[in-house]
Amino acid sequence: MLNQDRPENLFPLRGALIGFGNAAIHTHLPAWQKSRHFRIDAVLEPNPAQVRLAQALLPGVQIYSDMGPLLTSQGLDFVDICAPPCFHADLLLAACRAGLHILCEKPLVTSPESLLPIRRAAENSQRVIFAVNNWKYAPLWRKAHQLVGEKKIGNLRSIALTVLRPPNSGGGISDWRRCPEIAGGGILPDHGWHHLYLILSFMQEAPQYISARMEGSLTGGSSFLDETVELVMRFSAAEAKLHLTWQASGRRNFGIIQGDRGVLFVEDDHLLLCLEGLPPARYDFPEALSASSHHGEWMGSVVEDFCGEVMDMSLRGSNLIEAGWCVHLTHLAYQSHREGSRMIPVGEPPA
Could you list the pLDDT tens digit for every one of the 351 residues in the chain?
A: 444 444 555 779 999 999 999 999 999 999 999 999 999 999 999 999 999 999 999 999 999 999 999 998 878 999 999 999 999 999 999 999 999 999 999 999 999 999 999 999 999 999 999 999 999 999 999 999 999 999 999 999 999 999 999 987 655 556 788 889 999 999 999 999 999 999 999 999 999 999 999 999 887 667 899 999 999 999 999 999 999 999 999 999 999 999 999 999 999 999 999 999 999 999 999 999 999 777 888 999 999 999 999 999 999 999 999 999 999 999 999 999 999 999 999 998 877
Q: What share of the chain is helix, strand, coil (3-state, %, to 5)?
A: 40, 25, 35
Whether the bond into 167 is cis, omega within 30 of 0: no
Q: How far apart are CA 265 and CA 147, in angstroms?
A: 12
CA 28 to chain centre: 13
Name the DSSP letter for residue 2.
B
Partners of 256 in the β-ladder: 160, 265
Helices 193-203 and 139-149 pack at an angle, to 10 degrees, of 20
Partners of 62 in the β-ladder: 42
CB atoms within 10 A of CB 118: 23
Closest CA to 251 of 163, 162, 165, 135: 165
pLDDT score of 74: 78
CATH domain 139-299+326-345 topology: Dihydrodipicolinate Reductase; domain 2 (3.30.360)
Residues forming CATH 3.30.360.10 domain(s) in the chain? 139-299+326-345
Return all residues near 279 (Cβ < 8 A) that are at least 6 apart. none
Closest CA to 171 of 152, 190, 185, 189: 190
Q: How far apart are CA 335 and CA 87, in angstroms?
A: 23
Host H or E run for residue 258: strand 252-259
| Encoded amino acid at 145, one letter | H
Q: How far apart are CA 82 and CA 23, in angstroms?
A: 7
Name the DSSP letter for residue 350.
-
Q: How far apart are CA 164 and CA 253, in angstroms?
A: 6
| Dihedral angle sign, alpha carbons of residues 185, 191, 196, 197 | positive
Question: For the domain 13-134+310-316, what is the CATH superfamily, name and number?
Answer: NAD(P)-binding Rossmann-like Domain (3.40.50.720)
Residues forming CATH 3.40.50.720 domain(s) in the chain? 13-134+310-316
| 330 neighbors 188 (Cβ within 8 angstroms) | yes
pLDDT score of 2: 46
Q: How far apart are CA 152 and CA 264, in angstroms?
A: 9
pLDDT score of 293: 76
